[in-house]
């Protein structure tokens, strides 16, 4: 979609929830950097808008990108890591501070292959 089509898509999406306080310009500027939205066509946008109508609240970018992937028949690549379960993070060394123990996470070695 072109930047103008993305602007129109955001405007139409915001019209589904007119009483919700949504920063349209921020959405428009941010969503213009989403590769999946840029690769989509206006027809894909219409299908995603139709899928958004029954939603109870305004969807975030992750939900919108997932809808575009579904409409465009694209899947996220899975690298099949057994250590992290494809999350990219593993449990790190716990930290103790002020008498409390905090769990930490760290990048999995599989992230280097992406």
Retrieve residue 42's tokens. 């206006």
Mean of per-residue pLDDT scores for the chain: 88
| Mean pLDDT value of segment 5-9 | 95
| Mean pLDDT value of segment 64-76 | 86
CA-CA distance, 44 to 42, in Å (whole number)?
A: 5
pLDDT at 79: 58
Coil, strand or helix: which one is 14? Answer: helix
Q: Is the pLDDT of residue 108 over 90?
A: no
Predicted confidence (pLDDT) per residue in 40-53, tens digit: 999 999 999 999 99
- Predicted TM-score (pTM) of this structure: 0.65
């Amino acid at each position: 979609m072109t930047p103008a089509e993305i602007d129109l898509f955001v405007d139409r999406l915001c019209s589904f929830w007119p009483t919700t306080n949504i920063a349209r310009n921020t959405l428009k500027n941010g969503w213009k950097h989403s590769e999946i939205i840029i690769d989509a066509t206006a027809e894909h946008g219409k299908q995603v808008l139709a899928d958004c109508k029954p939603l109870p609240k305004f969807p975030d970018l992750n939900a919108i990108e997932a809808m575009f992937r579904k409409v465009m028949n694209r899947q996220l690549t899975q690298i099949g890591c057994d250590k992290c379960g494809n999350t990219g993070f593993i449990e790190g060394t716990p930290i103790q501070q002020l008498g409390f123990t905090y769990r930490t996470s760290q990048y999995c070695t599989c992230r280097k292959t992406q």
